[in-house]
Structure 1
Amino acid sequence: MKQILALTVAAALLCAPAMAEDAPESDMGEGLDLIEEGARMLMRGLMSEMEPALDALRDNVEQMGPALGEFVQSVGPAFGALLERIDDLRYYEAPEILPNGDIIMRRSPDAPAWEPEPDTTEIEL
């Protein structure tokens, strides 16, 4: 009887580590599944909260589209001409608006010396 009891205790002790190894893996897998499901629920909640704001943004963009296109067509050439006359915007300070409405763009004191490109257009006399 003592031998059977000793064999049973030895078998239980040998099986215990094997059972302990199985338990964390199954618990770990179940925990990861729960975390994944929680992340999905969080993303669904965020999307449902953001949907009205995204719809409003899309409506605003659709309304502004034609006006923005017209603005680019009218201001684009003038902005292109401005960029041809200056070498790099990094060399200028923020624009200053005078009381009469004029806008001045001053060159930064630490900018390199400005050398305008020679005018190659010919003038007929």
Structure 2
Amino acid sequence: MTAWDISVSGVQGVLDRTATAAEGLSDAGKALDKTLPSAATSAGTISGTYCGAGPPSGPVAGALAEFFNAKQRDLLYIAKRTTKSLNGAAEATREYVKGDLTMAADTQRKTIQEPTIDLPGDTKKGAK
């Protein structure tokens, strides 16, 4: 079996940097959610005057809406996958540390046990 040698501080550093990058991605998604409708409205229409309810909508607005609808699921997936990956890596590292602490405690417990002395010809085997 291959031994593991994980730098807990190294993992924490990577998780911190990845979380910071993920926040930037989240902020970009939120900004897109707010600015895309404005961009669609500002793109205008082909015709000069507009009658009807709501803001005018032209081919650019339609294309932007199609783009956003097509990519919205992908963006949500990336956000959820990133969160699950970060949480999973943190949990795995915590379990690794707990395993190290358990092994250290087991070793310490074995080390402080009273030794057993077996002398040749001793009738009391396993005497302490």
Shared fold per TM-score greater than 0.5: no
TM-score (norm 1): 0.44
Bigger CA radius of gyration = 1
